[in-house]
Structures are given as C-alpha cells and as structure tokens.
C-alpha cells in the first residue's frame, strides 16, 4: 500500500512520532513522511492512504506547521471524495477544554471536503501514562489493515 504520513507540529513531537510511524510501516509498504506545511490540498491522491498526526497548540489551535495547510484548504476547497485517512492527536488533558482540538480540526476539515476517515481518532494524553509511540504503532497497524479492506471495496 502507498502511505503518506502527514504531520502538524509546533514543538517537533508530532514530527518525531510521524517519523517513527513511517519507519514502523516501511518495508511492508511504500511510505512517505511530510510536514503539513509542505503539503498542498491538490496533492491528495485517492490511491494513497494518509495517516495524519497532529498536535494542538495554544487555546486549542492548530500547530504552526498545520496552519498553512488549513489556510490552503479553506482557499482551494478541494474535492477529497475517494481519499482515505486516519488521524492521531497529540494533546494534554491538563487543557481539558481544548484537549486534542488540533487533530479534531484537521479531521473535520478533511471530512467536510469528502474524505473518508478510517477508524477512530486516537487521542494521546501527555499527562496520561501511555507513551505516544506505544499507542501510535498499534493504531497505525490497525488503520492500515482497515484501509486496505476499505480501499479494495471502494475500487
């Protein structure tokens, strides 16, 4: 399967996790890893599966590297029908009113343009006991398997 891991980050945590997920999936799949700031909405390809890893910044805002992507999505309003994605959020429940808003904003943005989400959005809690890598590898394995089935059915 062709997989693109996209990440939105402010401090680099989402980037490091995205690179770990990409390395985990390489070998069994063709995997690219790209910062959302370097990805244009017109680049979405229905033949790819997208894993999005996004943090939250400030008062529930997108991290700096996801903002140009969000602005381009608003301006271009692409039709993402046929595009499949899964999303993993990084956040901290110490900010309970805005916990994992970054990943929620990106998921809602993609779905509003017609993309199909595979699996549930996973929400990591920096104040919790789980390591993001431990959750993300299981998440990646499960959503890639689900996506393979879904994309085969949709073809």
> In which domain, by residue range, is 72 found?
2-154
> Would the pLDDT of 100 be above 90?
no
> Would the pLDDT of 155 be above 80?
no
pLDDT at 32: 97
136 and 53 Cβ atoms separated by less than 8 Å = yes
> Would the pLDDT of 59 be above 90?
no
- 106-129: per-residue pLDDT in tens? 999 999 999 999 999 999 998 888
Q: What is the average pLDDT across 10-34?
A: 96
**Residue 155 and residue 58: Cα distance in Å, rounded?**
41
CA angle 50, 142, 87 (to 5 degrees): 40
> Would the pLDDT of 151 be above 90?
no
Q: What is the average pLDDT across 53-80?
A: 94
In the chain, the number of structural domains is 1
| DSSP secondary structure of 54-89 | E--BTTTBPPGGGHHHHHHHHHH----TT-EEEEEE
Q: What is the average pLDDT across 17-36?
A: 97
pLDDT at 12: 94
**pTM for the structure as a whole:** 0.94
Residues 6+ apart with CB under 8 A from 24: 137, 140
Q: What is the average pLDDT across 31-44?
A: 97
Looking up tokens 């017609």, which residue turns up?
A: 114
How would residue 98 be classed by pLDDT, with cut points 50, 70 and 90? Answer: confident
pLDDT at 23: 97
What mean pLDDT, rounded, does the chain reach? Answer: 94
Specify the CATH number for the domain of residue 51.
3.40.50.360
């Amino acid at each position: 399967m062709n997989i693109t891991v996209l990440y939105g980050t402010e401090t680099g945590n989402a980037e490091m996790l995205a690179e770990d997920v990409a390395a985990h999936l390489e070998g069994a799949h063709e995997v690219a890893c790209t910062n959302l700031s370097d990805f244009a909405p017109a680049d979405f390809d229905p033949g790819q599966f997208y894993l999005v890893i996004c943090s939250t910044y400030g008062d529930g805002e997108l991290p700096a590297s996801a903002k140009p992507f969000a602005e381009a999505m608003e301006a271009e309003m692409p039709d993402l029908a046929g595009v499949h994605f899964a999303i993993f959020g990084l956040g901290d429940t110490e900010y309970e009113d805005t916990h994992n808003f970054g990943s929620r904003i990106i998921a809602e943005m993609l779905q509003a343009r017609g993309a199909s989400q595979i699996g549930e959005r996973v929400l990591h809690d920096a104040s919790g006991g789980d390591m993001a890598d431990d959750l993300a590898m299981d998440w990646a394995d499960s959503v890639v398997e689900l996506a393979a089935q879904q994309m085969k059915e949709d073809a």
